[in-house]
Amino acid sequence: MLLLISPINREEALESIEGGADIVDVKNPKEGSLGANFPWVIKEIRELTPEDKLVSATLGDVPYKPGTVSLAAMGAHVSGADYIKVGLYGTKDHDEAVEVMENVVKTVKDVSEDTIIVAAGYADAHRVGAVDPMEIPKVAKDAGCDLAMLDTAVKDGHTLFDYLDLDKLKEFVDEAHSYGLLTALAGSVKKDQLKPLHDIGCDVVGIRGAACVGGDRNTGKIHHTAVAELKELLDSF
């Protein structure tokens, strides 16, 4: 299981890299769960990140506007992202979600076949009116994505496990794997939740809060010692 750490700037990216993160995920929590950062921030972080590590970029908690989202995806690609995540916030059902994602896939894959495209849903989708989280593997498959992901939309202290139990998460992972997709799980994930996620076959775990001083994704800052502890724990499984 790979460790994805989500810095917001150069300083945090360096801490993430020093701590041993496998994927450096550029985001902006001020704009939401999967808030988008600026192109120049993505570019700067890609330039300072070792070539053997992937740099991920979030496009935001996106609306149901396939053209707008496709342009954002091209911006992330041009800025150097190897791994592009789309938060399917404004899509209400499978068909809307597929329409957004298949256009992102076409936009990016036409110019960069190797870029990883991620359809990201929300375990607490019912709180924001987004597409059902258990639909995301099929959305990802039908749109031609590479990876199906879940996060939480509302960051209020609740975790992924408050909305989906381990059996449901295993069902999510197993369905995605049956389609040949990778999986990522996030959502205020705590240290003691890493082993269960590993055991159900999750490919990538996404973390920000647990890698921050004080454990707060908004007021804390990522520190390499916290990242290293998480990486060491994952490597022990």
List residues with catalytic annotation. 27, 85
Query: In angstroms, rounded to a whole number, what is the distance separating the alpha carbons of residues 179 and 11?
Result: 38
161: buried, middle or exposed (CB in 10 Å: 19+, 13-18, 0-12)? buried
Residue 85 CB-half CA count within 13 A: 36
d(Cα 153, Cα 35) in Å, to the nearest integer?
Answer: 10
DSSP 49-110: S-TTSEEEEEEEEE-S-HHHHHHHHHHHHHTT-SEEEEEE-S--SHHHHHHHHHHHHHHHHT
- Separation between Cα atoms, residue 181 and residue 194, nearest integer Å: 20
Q: Phi/psi at 152 (nearest 5 deg)?
A: -115, 140
Backbone Cα Rg of the chain:
16
**Cβ–Cβ under 8 Å, residues 15 and 229:** no
Q: Burial, 170: exposed, middle or buried (Cβ in 10 Å; 0-12, 13-18, 19+)? A: middle
The closest of 215, 221, 227 to 188, measured between CA atoms, is 215
